[in-house]
């Protein structure tokens, strides 16, 4: 599995440089504008962008067929994309907490927004990857775009809710979303592995 991930990183080195630059720009904009939503919001999609891009390269090169013939298990192939997604998402999300070190941005409301966006990021990955495994990257684009719109609306709604309500209720919702995202990872992976086991290459 490590070899598969290293292969993905090599294929994506140009894309990764672009994503890092994009995140850096959004991070600076968030810091200068004192608005964490730019940076924290962008981190939501990193867990999907990177593995889906890797899968698109694999589909074009028929990589999975070659990997299976080389002795890599279907479970390892499915799991490797989740590991790749988390490797992209967690650092981006983690860097959002740096804003809590800035006096102008240090507040419970901003903390809850970051935590909420983390949960939404995990849930987005949980939903997208099984669909991509089932029907392929190209056919799943419409679903992916639709889900992005839904997540964007939820992100705006969550930010508004934090500003209007605040306090313990928002904290509970934020942590519940993260918990749901973590539990969903195992459910999502199980579905993806099941799909992979019945897939012909």
Q: How many residues are recorded in the chain?
A: 201
d(CA 154, CA 156): 5
d(CA 131, CA 161): 30
Q: What angle do CA 169, 101, 98 make, to 5 degrees?
A: 85
In tens, the pLDDT along 82-121 reads: 999 999 999 989 988 988 888 888 888 888 888 988 998 9
Spatial CB neighbours of 187, under 8 Å, sequence gap ≥ 6: 126
Percent helix, strand, coil in the chain, to 5, is 85, 0, 15
Domain count within the chain: 1
Q: Of 120, 115, 117, 123, nearest to 185 (Cα)?
A: 123
Q: Is the overall model pTM greater than 0.95, yes or no?
A: no
Q: Is 136 left (phi over 0), alpha (psi -120 to 50) or beta?
A: left
Are 51 and 81 in contact by the 8 Å Cβ rule? The answer is yes
Helix or strand run (H / E) with residue 96: helix 74-96
Q: Which domain holds residue 7?
A: 2-197
Asked if pLDDT for residue 166 goes beyond 90, the answer is no
Q: Is 200 left (phi over 0), alpha (psi -120 to 50) or beta?
A: beta
In tens, the pLDDT along 8-53 reads: 888 888 888 888 898 889 888 888 888 887 787 788 888 888 899 8
In tens, the pLDDT along 169-196 reads: 778 888 999 999 999 999 999 999 999 8
In tens, the pLDDT along 131-144 reads: 998 888 888 878 87
Are 196 and 77 in contact by the 8 Å Cβ rule? The answer is yes
Are 170 and 157 in contact by the 8 Å Cβ rule? The answer is no
């Amino acid at each position: 599995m490590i070899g598969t991930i290293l292969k993905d990183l090599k294929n994506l080195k140009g894309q990764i440089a672009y994503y890092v630059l994009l995140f850096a720009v959004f991070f600076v904009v968030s810091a200068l504008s004192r608005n964490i939503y730019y940076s924290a919001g962008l981190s939501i999609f990193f867990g999907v962008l990177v593995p889906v891009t890797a899968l698109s390269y694999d589909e074009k090169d028929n990589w999975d067929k070659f990997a299976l013939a080389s002795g890599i298990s279907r479970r390892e192939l499915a799991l490797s994309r989740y590991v790749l997604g988390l490797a992209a998402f967690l650092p981006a999300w983690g860097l959002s907490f740096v804003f809590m070190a800035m006096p102008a941005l240090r507040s419970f409301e901003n903390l809850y927004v970051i935590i909420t966006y983390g949960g939404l990021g995990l849930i987005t990955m949980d939903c997208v990857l099984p669909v991509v495994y089932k029907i392929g990257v190209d056919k799943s684009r419409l679903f992916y775009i639709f889900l992005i719109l839904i997540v964007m609306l939820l992100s705006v709604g969550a930010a508004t809710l934090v500003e209007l309500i605040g306090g313990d209720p928002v904290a509970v919702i934020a942590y519940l979303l993260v918990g749901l995202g973590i539990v969903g990872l195992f459910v999502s992976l199980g579905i993806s592995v099941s799909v992979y086991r019945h897939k012909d290459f």
